[in-house]
Amino acid sequence: MRFTRKKTLSLIVEGGNDYVVAVKENQGKLYRQIETIIRYRQPRQTASTPFECHHGRQEQRRVSVYSAQGIDPQRWQGTKTILCVERRRCTPDKCSIHRAYYLSSLATTARLWNNMVRGHWSIENQLHWPKDVVLHEDETYGRNPNALLNASLFRSITINLLRLNGFKSVTSALRELANQVERIFRLLQ
């Protein structure tokens, strides 16, 4: 069976679970529909983080929670909430605003959403980004889905082993461990 996002959401809801999915610009009709809802409807709640300073920039997030009324329930089963996550970043040179939209089957507070979004980005930055950028997972090609899955699992295990052994950066760990076969085997014990 070929899986699509809508089929996956149906399986999640039928299993008694909840979901949060990003809506991207390439989802034309749905993306425009959400933009219209956000433009003309008042949010049920909003929550903001204070400005945080990291790596020479200030960043603030604001989550606005909207009712999913108007989203086709047949196509997006179980959707109760639309989220607009706005990130403001300021560097010494310029400020920018980025908005991301999400659909969810959960109806919870904006503050909790803000915490969940932050947790998501923590996972994205600590696992998915190193897999994609440092270990080149997106450049992996193959025909055998099991082989691709095994390679992805191996990358995740590698990142976890490096972190468990005190490496904060996968890039610096790879540099430090290059040509250190005995040391690599000790990490595996």
Q: Which residue has the higher pLDDT, 126 or 10?
A: 10
152 occurs within a structural domain: no
- Torsion, CA 121, CA 123, CA 127, CA 131, rounded to 10: -40
Token pair of 181 as six digits? 């076969």
78 occurs within a structural domain: yes
133 occurs within a structural domain: no
46 occurs within a structural domain: yes
- Cβ neighbour number for residue 69 with a 10 Å cutoff: 11
145 occurs within a structural domain: no
SS3 181: helix
92 occurs within a structural domain: yes
Task: Look at residue 165 and tell me whether its pLDDT is greater than 90.
Answer: no
For residue 10, the model assigns a pLDDT of 83
CA distance 15 to 102: 21
Q: Which residue has the higher pLDDT, 3 or 90?
A: 90
pLDDT in tens, 108-126: 888 888 777 766 665 566 6
- Cβ neighbour number for residue 159 with a 10 Å cutoff: 20
82 occurs within a structural domain: yes
pTM of the model: 0.65
- Where is mean pLDDT largest: 41-45, 162-166, 185-189? 41-45
Segments forming the whole domain that contains residue 26: 1-108
- Number of structural domains (the chain) is 1
37-51 mean pLDDT = 89
CB 13 within 8 A of CB 77: yes
SS3 155: helix
Burial of 135 (0-12, 13-18, 19+ CB in 10 A): buried
67 occurs within a structural domain: yes
